[in-house]
Chain A
Amino acid sequence: GESVGLHLPTLSVQEGDNSIINCAYSNSASDYFIWYKQESGKGPQFIIDIRSNMDKRQGQRVTVLLNKTVKHLSLQIAATQPGDSAVYFCAEDSGNTGKLIFGQGTTLQVKP
């Protein structure tokens, strides 16, 4: 069946290091992907998105890479800060419906 899954449930990094969070998706028809950040007690917050006609997109300190060949998505955070500690979700939308399917989430822990 269709699913979006995350490889690692928890990622621990040192402050200042770069972080890479990975995500696999199974629906080859998905054409829009989004990364969300969720802090404790809050709703998911949009970080960055990418469409299937691109393989890379950069934001402020974040980069999303899309490899359609192996159906893999990653989020790179440069110079990770304590404020980056949160759960990160990838989500996919197939057919531009706005109906997002979320992965299970990866917890990012930043050590000072």
Chain B
Amino acid sequence: DAGVIQSPRHEVTEMGQEVTLRCKPISGHNSLFWYRQTMMRGLELLIYFNNNVPIDDSGMPEDRFSAKMPNASFSTLKIQPSEPRDSAVYFCASSLAGGQADGYTFGSGTRLTVV
């Protein structure tokens, strides 16, 4: 199993540009989570999906952020327009069932730098 796959690993973009982060969850997992990690705020849950449906997006910072999960094997997190304060490492995680963290696997993350 290749685990949770995120792309790109690194992204450097200019302020105002659109950024799209991608995630492929583990096959068979039905929950997908997007987290953001910064030194100041630690790991923050942005949004999570269950069976491709967004369940809780209360962690999404503002309207510039949006996430989609068009099918069970793919999700995107989009920031438009991007700002320097969005610079962080963005993690995607998937699990077999809600609350079963032994199946809660993180990807390697996308390091985003907005200049």
B99 touching A98, Cβ below 8 Å: yes
- The CA-CA distance from A102 to B42 in the complex, in Å, is 8
**Are A43 and B104 touching (Cβ within 8 A)?**
no
| Cross-chain contact B48 with A49 (CB below 8 angstroms) | no
Instruction: From B61-69, B79-87, B90-98, give the one contacting chain A.
Output: B90-98
CB 8 Å contact bits of A68-112 with B (1 = contact, 0 = none): 000000000000000000000101010111111111110000000
Q: Can you list, as one digit per residue, whether each of B11-47 has a CB less than 8 Å from chain A (1) or not (0)?
A: 0000000000000000000010100000000111100
Q: A49-B101, A91-B101 are in contact. Are A98 and B48 (CB under 8 A)?
A: yes
Total CB contacts across the A-B interface at under 8 A: 62
**Secondary structure of the A contact surface, majority rule:** loop
A46 to chain B, nearest CB (A): 6
**A45: Cβ under 8 A from any B Cβ:** yes
Question: Is B99 within 8 A of A44, CB to CB?
Answer: no
**Roughly how many angstroms separate A103 CA and B108 CA in the complex, as a whole number?**
19
Partner of B43 from the list A45, A49, A89, A99 (CB cut-off 8 Å) is A89
CB–CB B108/A42 < 8 A: yes
Partner of B42, one of A34, A98, A104: A104
Q: What are the residues of chain A within 8 A of B48 when measuring CB–CB? A: 98-99
A25 close to B (CB within 8 Å):
no
Q: A1 → chain B, closest Cβ, in Å?
A: 13
* Least CB distance, B96 to chain A, in whole angstroms: 10
The interface centre, meaning the residue of B44, B45, B91, B99 with most chain A CB atoms within 10 A of its CB, is B99
Set of chain A residues within 8 Å of B101, measured between Cβ atoms: 32, 34, 46, 49, 91, 93, 98, 100
- Cβ of B1 within 8 Å of any chain A Cβ, yes or no, is no
Asked if B106 and A43 make an inter-chain contact with CB atoms under 8 angstroms apart, the answer reads: yes
CB-based contact A98/B106 at 8 Å: no
Contact of A44 among B44, B45, B106 (CB under 8 A): B106
